[in-house]
Amino acid sequence: MIRSLHLTDIAVLLFFLGKSPVNEVRMRDRLTSNEIELLAAAPLLRACLISDNKRCSFICVHRGFIQALVSLKRCRGPGAWMVDRLLLPPGREELCSDLLERAGFAGDKIEAERLFLRLDSSSPAVEMAKQGGFTHYLTEHLYYLEGARQTESAEPSLVLRPKSGADEHGLFRLYSAAAPHQVRRAEGMTLQEWSQSRDKDATWELVLEKDGEISAWLRIRLGRTAGRFEIVTELDAEELGQLVNYSLAALRGRHPLYCLVSEFQQQLQRILEEQGFSRVASYSCLSKQLAVRVREPQLVPLQA
C-alpha cells in the first residue's frame, strides 16, 4: 500500500532509514557529498507536524513496515517541485515506478504543475521513472579536476559582478538563447515558469555584462574543501575559456573541483578536458506534468 507519510510513522521511519536504503535521486546540492539518510527523518516528520507546504512524502508500506519512500520538495516557486529522495532497499527497484506514479497524483495536494527528477543515467530507476510518467529532457555531466592542477590556471581577464534581483529578466533571456527547445519546454517557456522551476541550491552567483546585456552567468558552490561551478553563456570559445579560468581562480585553494555541464554545452566540455578535467558522472533529468484538479466555474448567489 502506498500512502502519505504521517507523524505516527516516526518509529517505522527510523527503522527503515536505519537500514541505509539507497537514495536514487541526485540533488544539485548533494552531487559531490554523501548525506546520512538517517538525518532525513527530521525534515520529513517536521513537514507532517506543521503542515509544511514545501515538502510532501509518500511511503510504500507492507505488514506495518516501510518498504520504500519518495519525498517531494518545492523549488523556488509553488508551481514546480523536485523529487529530493527516492529511497529503495537493494533489490526492490520495482517499487520505484509505483511510488513515482503516486507522486504524480499529488498535484492537487501540493498545488503544483510540474515535477522534476535527477537520477544517475546508469540507474535502473531511469526506466522505472519513465514507466511512472516521467519524460527525459536533458543529460548533465559532472567533470572533475584534481586539486594539484589548479595552480596552472591563469589569472582571470574578465570582470564579473554579483547577481542582483534586477537581473532575472536578463538571465532568462540568456537562458532562452542558450538552452534547446526541449529543455525550455520542460523547465519553463516563460520567466515565471523558469523562475519557479529553479531549485534552491545555495550558490555564489556572478554575471558578465556585455553591451548592456548579460552575456554569461557563473554559479559557484563552495563545499568544506571542494568547489563546483556552472556556466551559462553564448560566448565564443576564447571568452568561454576565460570564464573557466575565472572560475578556477575563484576556487583556488579548494580541491577537488567539479563542473556541472549540460549535454548541449559541447564547447565547454572540450575546454574543460583541455584544462585537465575528466568526466566522472552523468545524470538524467526528467520531468512530469502533474495531475491537478480543474476548478469548474459555477454560479453563486449575488451578494446585496
Averaged over successive runs of 10 residues, the pLDDT of the chain (304 residues) comes to 86 86 87 64 66 81 90 90 88 81 78 91 92 94 77 65 93 96 95 89 86 93 89 93 93 91 97 95 94 55 56
Residue-by-residue DSSP string for 194-254: HHHHS-----EEEEEEETTEEEEEEEEEE-SS-EEEEEEE---HHHHHHHHHHHHHHTTT-
Count Cα atoms within 13 angstroms, Cβ side, for 250: 25
Residue 177: how many CA atoms within 13 Å on its side-chain side?
15
Beta 257-262 vs 227-233: how paired, if at all? Answer: parallel
Q: Tell me what pLDDT residue 151 has.
A: 46
Residue with cell 558578465: 208
Nearest to 286 by CA among 55, 105, 112, 129: 129
What is the structure's pLDDT at 287? Answer: 95
Q: Which of 48, 49, 65, 66 has the alpha carbon at shortest distance from 57?
A: 48
pLDDT at site 211: 85
Full set of structural domains in the chain with CATH: 2-138 (3.40.630.30), 142-286 (3.40.630.30)
The phi and psi torsions of 169 (rounded to 5 degrees) equal: -65, -40
pLDDT score, position 240: 94
255 φ/ψ sector (left φ>0, alpha ψ -120 to 50, else beta): beta
Residue 244 · residue 276 · CB < 8 Å: no
Residue 44 has a pLDDT of: 73
Q: CA–CA separation, 292 vs 304, rounded Å?
A: 34
User: Would the pTM of this model clear 0.75, i.e. be above it?
Assistant: yes
Model pLDDT, residue 156: 60
